[in-house]
Structures are given as structure tokens and as C-alpha cells.
Structure 1
């Protein structure tokens, strides 16, 4: 088998391609045989990629399983961004005007099938769109404004919306694509090191407090950076910098992700990188990623509407339910009986087609190991809030109550804790992560990997002091120096 075509219904893809299996999205998501396949090429032709629908999860979990997916979850998210047309207008200006010249109308729809167009004059434009947003089926709407063509909308097109006259071209293009590889994206040249730090002064629980931000600024200036603090209104200025450091709580459907994607597209060194945000922000992805890499975690099942009884039999009560994009202990609940399970799963499944269910394994404290570039940076023990099973307890009014914390020298951390933490972080990427773990004697299990870990003055820096800020800025220097060497050698 050379590939999988994933569709909502088998009848959506009536053509046979040698070596290609057609499966439904639900089968791909819920059958163990697809979890075990290694290195498969997967083509996601679902009718919708809306957040946390089955189409979204096909691309998300294909990445967790190590499958080569088209479109990948980064592209899925890119296509939802409101600024995509403005980005495209800058990227494809010359091709757009040449390809669409002398058309006899003020609007034009261009369908792109696996990077190609049925019309020879539009093939270069189609390839350019595909290189920017690699998705099997795209549709761009162009409008004539003033004296030039502009991109009005861009998004995936459903199989059912492909004109009958294009069908055979689509199928042949799909056959051809199996033997082709994707082209790398263009990188932006840069000549000096300027660092942008994205913050939100109104955020109640930011990942770095004010004193920590000043420490980052000083460390960066000591290492030769000029530093500016940006807020969400500075999106248009991202490309002016060499590096972006996000110190605002990240989320997928959020401007922090858009900043990260724009910065990555422009060739900046980014922490948190968009791939890290996508991977760490979704606990469904993390659960599958840990399973794929055989990294220990509490017994974990992906819960959906069809396996509620099975989950109860496998895990029993109490169990922990996790909304995929939960943060700061929000959207993570413990259910003690069948009535609570039924009530909470009904609510969770209204927001996401898949949620995480885990065995409840209580401990006195959770470990947090900070990992940077695959190496341990800091270690803390966060104790459970008083009379609560989590580190953070929120009362009926939303007020937060936290347990004690203890920051340790990394050399004092049990080797088993460090080993599992590093395995988990490296499975996600090479950036800055906070790995949460539970320890039961010599047994260590991953709870989650955070892409945007707290680095607060007076907590995580208690052992390393100023050195923790310098080490993080040195990571940017390392990456930027590597970029400079590559350009000089080119």
C-alpha cells in the first residue's frame, strides 16, 4: 500500500488507484490498524476541516502517527486565517496579474487539484498556491479591484463541488502526485538580529511575569539583540524582525498562532514554533504521540460517541476527562461515577468529536521539567492545591488557588524523571517545552507537554537565576547563526 485516501463516505472517491486504499475518516480515526501503520501517505479529502471535526482530526492525528499527510494540520489551520488573502496578494502578485490578464469578467474562480490546474495558462499560479498552502483541493476566488486582480478568498473545496468536467483531470493529477514530493517553502533573508517578544499586558495568567520579561530583555541585549515588545496589534510588523519569542498564552484558534505562522513563513526563528503550538495544544495529538513513541502515560483512551461504554469498562471510576485544547487545569475534570461521566461527556462531545480519557492516578505533586533544544533547563515540583486533586483549584467565582512549588537543580532530579521528560519533549520538537509528569517510585508517566511553559521570576528561575534567561536567548543566537552560515554557503 502506497497511500490512503480518507473521505467522509467511500462513495466520495469512486476511482481506483493502484496501491491506494480508500477509507472513511471515522475508520481512520478509530481503528487500531491505522495507528500501527508507519510512514503511510495520507490524503485527507474530507468535506470540512473545521476545528475539532473529523476532517480536522484526520490531519492532526496523521501527524501524531508519523504519517505523511496532505494537508497537514499546519496547512489546515493556515487556510482558516483571515489574513490569508493579504498574505497571498504579496506572495503571488506577479503570477496573479499575468495569469488572469485579459479575462472578460471581474471575478474568477480557480480550482487547484494537487497543485495543478486543468488550464495551461493557470498552472504556474496553481503551483504557487499549492506551495504556500499544500492541500489536495483548493479554490481561490480572484476579484478585479481598481486596476488589478486581488485574492478575495482561499480555502479547501469539497469533492462534491468539483465540476464534472474536471473529474478525470483530478483523478489523473492524484495518480501523478503519489510519485512527487512537496517543494520547500522560501526563507526570508535577514542581516541583523532583532528580537520581538509578543506579550499581552491584559492577560491574567501570562507565561512570564513582568520581572521575567525584563530579565529576558536584559539577557537579549547583553547578547547583541535589539528588543521590542509587541502586542496583537503589531501583526503587520512581524517580518521586520529576525526572531519572535511568544510570551503570551498560545492557542490554535488565536492570534498567537497567526503570529507564529507569519513569523515562520517569513523565515524568523520562532518560539513557540507553529508546529509546537499545534502539537502541544491538543491533548488528543499528545496522547497518540506518546503511544507512538512508547512513552509511558496513564492508561489513555480516545473517547468518542461510539465507545463510551468501552471506556468505562477499560478505565473504571474515577477517571479523568480532558478537553483536547484545555489549559491551566481548565477543561480537565475528574468524574467519579456513571452519572457524572454521562453528563460531562455529553458536554465535551458537543465541542469536539474526540476527547481524552485517562485513568486517575493521584500523586502528592507533579513534576515539571523545562526542556530547551532537547536538553533539561529547569525542574520544579508543583504540589496539589489544598483538598484538591490538581495543582490549581478554582472556586465557584473563578478565583485560583495553587499548591506550593519547589524548584530544584536539574542534577537533583531522578534520572527516570529526566529521561521520560526528554523523550516526551523531543517527540514534540526541539523548542522550549514544559513536560508535566507523575512519579510512582521508579515509574514515571507523562501527563502532558506544554509548548508555552511558565518562566516566572521567583519560581522557575530560583536555581539558575539570570542564567535561565540567558540560556533561552542563546537558543535564538544558535539558530540565527546557523541560518547565517547557510546563507553564506549558498
Structure 2
């Protein structure tokens, strides 16, 4: 991918970064070569971003050309909207108060150069501001009303207004920002795309094991991608990539959703999309969606603290209670008596106003149908953990008994009604990557849930397709970039 720095006087940019070309806004706007350049990333450092200036048009035309640009026109407009500037989160507000508490004046100006400040004590705040506004050169003004500090304004800094004695530091920060591994000159022609895979090495039951992640990386590199495994702290860097593949357990009130949403806003191809996370991660939503569209499920009731009495008459005992955002069998309990239900409901409504009560269908296994773009990728049987009613038994003291065994089947050997039911469910969600859990009882299929972030583990789900499984998923993601 080509990297362009657009600055009014290129001769004043003294930093030589391999693989990065420095040009003027005039050249960028008028030279046909840049207009036709595909897979380009533009760093707009023009003197002025005001409406209809050259700096404004660099960001505008970069978007029209399908090129990645920092800052985007959306970012520039956000900086002009006072309401957006001041709409910071509680977490960011706490950081502002903590960082500036020692300052005695009523005003403080913070310069942000490529997500850094000259003083390390302000670096964390500088990174947060960069996350918010995605401008390489930014000046933030804070005011203290006697009670607390507030972000009053945030504006881009014209390169010509950077103090001379700051330039060496700006160069240092710019080099750190631009001279990432994928910007190495030897890689420029080798890779067409930059792919970020979001992982959490500390996660107890991640959607993909190390073996699978290595296969994803290999498949992506063969398809022309530079691949980087990233974590939640890389939120501010998402605009540097062309695609985001989430291999961390997703949730709505979580950084995985925020990163998916941010990536989508920045124009990246994303698996899992924020829409998929919203629709799958909350079991209350999913229960309503499946019910309205007549997808067979175990008998299900949405309950709260005031309507759980009498549920046993409709569902019988035992029955299953689920927190709306539970995953990997966590936040899911089986209750056997009215008293046990009362206690568990009381406990669970402290976490969520609504919970799911579902008929208990005892089976020795669950089907898992892996679906991509409304096509079946794989079908597994996951057997229940030893002496347990779920696939996972997190209370087991023996590591080998935490999860059950599995079998994987050629698609043509799976009952047609299992596959048909799974596909009916995923069509309601989208065209992404999903895993549908299905119970089979007396020749009928019942959808338990649809997962937006299904397990793809080396040695399990890939047992039949092998490396083709990984290639197909990455190809689908790359097709999103081209769209």
C-alpha cells in the first residue's frame, strides 16, 4: 500500500521514512497519478483544513478516490462541532481530571503530535484525544471553572505553526507513527492490504486457538495482506488498516463492539460487524427475532423480577435461565425448583432488567453449524462436558473435563433440516461469519442461539476443510474491502 504525506511545503519535511512519499496538496489534487492510485493511505498535514481550502479538498477527494485519509472530512467536521468536542466519556473525563489536577491556572493548552505530547506525563491524555479526533497534529484547550477541568476546544495545528524547538520531537513521534513494520519499503509492493486481527492473549476461551490464528495469518499473507495481531489498546490505530477481523469474544458494552463500530465508520471491512454483534450478543433481542420469524426454538419466556412466578407452569422444571449477554455457557444456569428459580432470578436481575427463561431440552450433544455469507462452512457435534448438561463445565476441577468431545461431519451427511433451520436463522442476522447452535429432538431442529463470533479452532472446526476454511473466511473479508 502506497503511503503519502501531503504538506504545503514538502521541502520542509525533513524526515525520510521508507515507503512514504511527501508531496504538495497541488500535486495531490492535480496529478492524475495520485487520482488513480489504488490502495493508498494519505496523511494530510496541510496548513489549513477550513471548508473548501486545499487541505479540506485533500481529505474530501481522498475519500472519493477510495483512499484512506487521516484526518477524514468527518474528523474535520467533528472538530468544528462544539457539542461533539465536549461529548467525552466518563472514562476520558476522569483521565482529564487526574492528568490536570496539579495545574493551578484556569487554562491549559495541550499539543498532540502523532498521538504524543512532549511531556510524558501528558502522553496518555494525548493518545485519548487522538483516538477521539484522529488528527495527526492537534491542539486542545482545557478550562477550569473552579470545580473541574473541561475540554473547551480542539483544533488541528498547521505545520507552519509548530514551534521550531518542537520540530525534533515531532519528527521523532512521526517516525514512530509512520515507520511501523508494515511500512517497510521491502513490503510495499508485496502486500496490497493491511489486516488487523483483534485478539486477547489472556482470554480463557478465545474464539480461536494459536494454531488457528497462525492459519489465518498464513492465509491472509498468501492473499496479499500484511497482518498484525492487535489488542484493545490499538483502538486509535484502526484507521491505519483496511480490514478488521475480531477473534476475541464479543459483547455490546465492550471494546470489541466499539472497535467494530469505529472500524466500520473508518471504512474498514469488518468481521464481526457491529450489526452482527448487536443482533447476536443479546439473547433477549435474539429470542424476539427468532420468535417473530417462526424459527423453532425451545419454549422461551422473557422475564423480569415481577413476572417470574408461574413460569414453571409454562416451561416446567428443570428450565434454563440466561443472562442476555452470556457466552460460552457462562451466565447460563439450570434451575430445578421454584425456590431455586426465585433466588437465581433475584441474583440475575441485579445484572440485567430482563433475562431469558427457556425450556430445558436434554441432549447428549449440540449441533454447531458454521455459516459464512449464508453458506455452510462446517458442521460439528459438540458433546456435553463429562457429567454436565452443557458443552462447557467451568466448575470442573479437572482441566480435561471442562469441555466435551466433538465430531465433525461432511455437510452432505448432516440432516437437511438441521442445515435449513440454521440458515433461516442466520439470514435474519446478516451475511457475516456465524455459528448456530441447534438441538435435535425427535427429528426436529431447535435453534438455541446464533453466535456472531463462532469458534474456529485448529484441529476442530477445520478438520475437514483444512486451510481452505481459513482462506475462504479471509477472501470474504477482502471482498468487503473491494466493495
TM over 0.5: yes
1:464 is aligned to 2:465: yes
Paired position in structure 2 for 1:304:
304
The structure that has the greater radius of gyration is 2
* SS of equivalent residue, structure 1 residue 324: strand
Q: Distance in 2 between matches of 1:143 and 1:428?
A: 43
Paired position in structure 2 for 1:288:
288
**Paired residues, number:** 319
Paired position in structure 2 for 1:329:
329
* SS of equivalent residue, structure 2 residue 428: helix
Paired position in structure 2 for 1:367:
367
Paired position in structure 2 for 1:84:
none
Q: Distance in 1 between matches of 2:77 and 2:290?
A: 37
The partner residue of 2:80 within 89, 94, 100 is 94
1:254 is aligned to 2:257: no
Relative to the length of structure 1, the TM-score reads: 0.61
Paired position in structure 2 for 1:150:
153
User: Where do residues 66-465 of structure 1 align in structure 2 (5 Å cutoff)?
Assistant: 91-96=77-82, 149-150=152-153, 192-395=192-395, 401-465=402-466
* SS of equivalent residue, structure 1 residue 211: helix
The alpha carbon displacement at 1:201 in A equals 1.5
The alpha carbon displacement at 1:401 in A equals 1.5
Task: Provide, for residues 40-76 of structure 1, a one-character-per-residue CA deviation record: whole Å limited to 9, x for no partner.
Answer: xxxxxxxxxxxxxxxxxxxxxxxxxxxxxxxxxxxxx
The question of whether the paired residues in 1 share the 8 Å contact of 2:280 and 2:452 is answered with yes
CA pair 368-230 structure 1, distance change in 2 beyond 3 A? same
The question of whether the paired residues in 2 share the 8 Å contact of 1:385 and 1:391 is answered with yes
RMSD: 2.9
Task: Provide, for residues 99-125 of structure 1, a one-character-per-residue CA deviation record: whole Å limited to 9, x for no partner.
Answer: 99xxxxx99xxxxxxxxxxxxxxxxxx
Task: Provide, for residues 376-415 of structure 1, a one-character-per-residue CA deviation record: whole Å limited to 9, x for no partner.
Answer: 1111000111221111112266956111100111221111
The question of whether the paired residues in 1 share the 8 Å contact of 2:396 and 2:402 is answered with no
The question of whether the paired residues in 2 share the 8 Å contact of 1:290 and 1:296 is answered with yes
The question of whether the paired residues in 2 share the 8 Å contact of 1:144 and 1:150 is answered with no
CA pair 200-398 structure 1, distance change in 2 beyond 3 A? farther
The alpha carbon displacement at 1:314 in A equals 1.0
**Which structure 1 residue ranges, 4+ long, deviate > 6 Å from structure 2?**
none
CA pair 236-336 structure 1, distance change in 2 beyond 3 A? same
Q: Distance in 1 between matches of 2:372 and 2:81?
A: 41
The alpha carbon displacement at 1:475 in A equals 0.3
Q: Distance in 2 between matches of 1:395 and 1:204?
A: 13
The question of whether the paired residues in 2 share the 8 Å contact of 1:300 and 1:359 is answered with yes
Q: Distance in 2 between matches of 1:263 and 1:89?
A: 14
Q: Distance in 2 between matches of 1:303 and 1:283?
A: 12
Which structure 1 segments of 5+ residues have no match?
Answer: 1-86, 101-105, 108-131, 133-141, 152-190, 483-490
* SS of equivalent residue, structure 1 residue 419: helix
Q: Distance in 2 between matches of 1:448 and 1:311?
A: 21
Q: Distance in 1 between matches of 2:462 and 2:368?
A: 13
The question of whether the paired residues in 2 share the 8 Å contact of 1:192 and 1:242 is answered with no
Paired position in structure 2 for 1:51:
none
Task: Provide, for residues 103-162 of structure 1, a one-character-per-residue CA deviation record: whole Å limited to 9, x for no partner.
Answer: xxx99xxxxxxxxxxxxxxxxxxxxxxxx9xxxxxxxxx96699x9437xxxxxxxxxxx
Paired position in structure 1 for 2:98:
none
Relative to the length of structure 2, the TM-score reads: 0.62
